[in-house]
A and B are shown apart, each in its own frame.
Chain A
Amino acid sequence: MSRSRALLICLALALTLALISTPALADPVLKMASTTSTANTGLLDYLADLFKKDTGVELQFVAVGTGKALALGANCDVDVLLVHAPAAEKKYVDEGNGVDRREVMYNDFVIIGPPEDPAGIKGLKVTEALAAVAGKKAPFASRGDNSGTDKMEKSLWKAAKMDVPEKESWYVQTGQGMIKTINVATEKKGYTLTDRGTFIKFADTHKGNPPLKILVEGDEVLFNQYSVIRVNPDKCKQVKTDLALKFADWIVSEATQAKIGEFKLLGQKLFIPNAKK
């Protein structure tokens, strides 16, 4: 029966696609888990292109919250991490999940909000600003996803001597990436904590005139350090240690550090290189 044979051929073709899709002889691949801030800003695409040019290695990254990135590393699903939650990172290395943590770049966190500033937080210190937001019950969008930004935000509530206002109606936990969370804050005409790099990207998308503005910045506690951590090869036998090492050495090298500094939007640096010489 030629009809069923034709059908079988179609199905066989579909499955053959599976084999053809396997890039058996492609370039070496390094798998990285990073954060939504490094991905959303376009920095990871920029770095991946440079890395490919300099070393011929293809950098494939998944952009998830720092919490999930650390979990992926612990499960040996990726080879290297680029994250920004120093306290969690140090614990991670102590527990034997990661090795060779090196600082790479920094920016700072800022609190952004509507120009009308209903809670009147402009120019205040972080702890005072959060108290004002809570007092006025102004809408506040939180990442709520265990990311580096989320961990920072929770530590700030703590520093302001308040419980994280989880159950409050004005406190919105989006559980999503940074730009999505900023969009929620915009819709609700509320506040949110973001890293400056992502905010610049947001402003750039709005052609330099974003609906939310930076209201609180410069406080010391808002320092935001990004580091690269290699997944522990003793724990994860299959990890591509040589490629991970190549990446770690490359990203702290003077040439790459300079390139990170050249990554700008609206004329501003999104991340400031600070690898130890």
Chain B
Amino acid sequence: MGGSLDYIWDGLITAVGLLVRLDPETFSAVAATVKVSSMSMGLSLIIGLPLGFALAQTRFPGRRAARTTVDTLLSLPTVVIGLLAYTFISRRGPLGGLELLFTLQGVALAQTFLALPIVISLTAAAVEGQDRRLRQTLLTLGASARQTARSTLWEARFAVLAAALAAYGRVVSEVGISMMVGGNIKWHTRTITTAIALETGKGEFGMGIALGVVLMIWAGILNLLLAWLKKRSEP
């Protein structure tokens, strides 16, 4: 016996060693994930927050269809998004000239399509969850459309933050898009998830664990931050 537990123990020891020594390959993957997820989250929030608000508050023809479409896009598998992105940004595709394939920028752009439905859908839900009288009160106080939007989003800020965190969780843990669009190129587009998925297959079990640990710590920090912010705003 002694086969299985030793294997896991060896992996853990290797992982601690990599983290303590600040192993360049491991932290290159961490840096790549941080960069690409920041870019895609930034873009999807800028586009998604106003759209989510609009979807909840404004009446327009086809509103229900739009809502259904957004909710359906929530189930889009990452490999499908990755495949579609590849067909567009491959040299052979319409956006080939932008040279986005095998770059973090390309991955971030494709990941935005993953995060956007989540941000839109959950922001809309957050805004809808607001007291109806809020809007009327703001309007009677003479608020412009933009001020109304900002105030409503601010009132719903924790639900909106939760939406952003949900989208972030999805983006930071996906493999399909990073693989297809990024190519898992060492030092460049090798992210935490592609490194774990592909390098562990080569027996780099220790690095996989190290990366998994970093990801969990990062997620933990973000959630603690949210909890702290929530506590701070409570009377």
Contact = CB atoms under 8 A, between A and B. Distances in A.
Interface residues of B, number: 28
A18 B185 contact: no
Contacts of A238: 91
A18 B36 CA distance: 8
Contacts of A176: 201
Interface stretch (B54-62, B101-109, B217-225): B101-109
A31 interface: yes
B46 A11 contact: yes
Contacts of B92: 75-77
Contacts of B104: 21
Interface string B34-71: 01001101110110000000000000000000000000
A77 B101 contact: yes
Nearest to A205: B203
A161 B38 CA distance: 55
A18 B39 contact: yes
Contacts of A60: 102, 185, 188
Contact of B184 (A4, A17, A31, A62): A62
Contacts of A22: 105
B35 A17 contact: yes
A12 B45 CA distance: 11
Contacts of A11: 42, 45-46
A49 B35 CA distance: 25
19 contacts: A3-B154, A11-B46, A15-B42, A15-B43, A17-B39, A18-B108, A21-B35, A21-B39, A60-B185, A61-B185, A62-B102, A62-B185, A76-B91, A77-B91, A77-B101, A176-B201, A177-B201, A179-B203, A238-B91
